């Protein structure tokens, strides 16, 4: 029998964030087996306990969906012998979770974690053209010529396909004195080290890279590095309908 904290179970079911769920419990919105729940840390069974929210049954999904604010130093894989994986940051009893795509070991930001292989495949399919947006600090002054080059597609030396698909590059700030730029870049692929190689192709070097959006999902301001939470029902619906 699988036992979970009530607040975690409700968050995993998409009722809200852990803090929102705790507020719902305090307000008397949650019942367990017909009795008002008073504490968020009580253990409940996913198999035998009947849980309601505003009188409606809470439906537990066969799939789990998380958003993680990935810190540097973690590998986007299920197993690795050289560094900790992103799955070590996820609180779940599931053994079949995996990251949707990958972020480089030194890249931070939004990473989706799930066990829904069908949704993951659709999100990562090149035919779906799902946007992935990054914030980057670049050594060098990014110019309007670079914007045009990214829009036209860049040769990045990939053995299978030498040209990266067109990308949207937006200059946020340039500093001629310190020789750096801050930019946003949106791509629709996920080639190995792609963003770094695109800037190398125009003679510049990335010093910091953070993914801030994946399709319709943006990195929450209140999700600290290393923290994660379950996707809300609204976020999950947005992901499912974008592909």
Hey, which residues are catalytic here?
Answer: 104
Cβ distance 183 to 172 under 8 Å?
Answer: yes
Q: Which helix (H) or strand (E) holds 182?
A: strand 180-187
Query: β-strand 3-5 against 43-45: which pairing, if any?
Result: antiparallel
The structure tokens listed for 167 are 């990308």
Cβ distance 6 to 44 under 8 Å?
Answer: yes
DSSP SS3 for 132 = strand
CA distances from 91 to 6, 47, 106 (A): 14, 19, 22
The conformation of residue 128, written as its DSSP 8-state character, comes to G
Rounded Cα gap, residues 126 and 32, in angstroms? 44
Rounded Cα gap, residues 80 and 72, in angstroms? 15
Q: Which helix (H) or strand (E) holds 234?
A: helix 233-242
Cα torsion angle, 202, 209, 148, 130, sign: positive
The structure tokens listed for 56 are 């409606």
The structure tokens listed for 123 are 């999100």
DSSP SS3 for 152 = helix
């Amino acid at each position: 029998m699988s036992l979970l904290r009530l607040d975690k179970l409700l968050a995993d079911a998409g009722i809200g964030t852990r803090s929102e769920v705790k507020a719902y419990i305090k307000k008397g919105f949650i019942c367990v087996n017909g009795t008002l729940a008073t504490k968020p840390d009580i253990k409940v069974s996913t198999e035998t306990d009947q849980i309601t929210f505003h009188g409606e049954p809470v439906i537990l999904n066969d799939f789990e969906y998380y958003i993680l604010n990935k810190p540097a130093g973690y590998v986007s894989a299920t197993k690795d012998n050289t560094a900790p994986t992103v799955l070590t940051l996820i609180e779940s009893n599931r053994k079949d979770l995996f990251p949707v795509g990958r972020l480089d070991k030194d890249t931070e930001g939004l990473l989706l974690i799930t066990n829904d292989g069908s949704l993951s495949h659709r999100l990562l399919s090149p035919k779906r053209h799902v946007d992935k947006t990054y914030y980057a600090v670049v050594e060098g002054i990014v110019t309007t010529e670079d914007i045009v080059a990214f829009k036209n597609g860049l040769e990045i030396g990939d053995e299978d396909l030498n040209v990266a698909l067109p990308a949207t590059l937006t200059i946020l700030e340039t500093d001629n004195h310190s020789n750096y730029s801050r930019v946003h870049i949106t791509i629709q692929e996920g080639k190995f080290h792609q963003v770094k190689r695109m800037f190398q192709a125009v003679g510049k070097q990335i010093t910091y890279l953070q993914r801030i959006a994946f399709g319709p999902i943006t990195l929450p301001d209140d999700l600290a590095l290393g923290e994660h939470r379950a996707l809300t029902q609204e976020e999950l619906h947005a992901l499912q309908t974008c592909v």
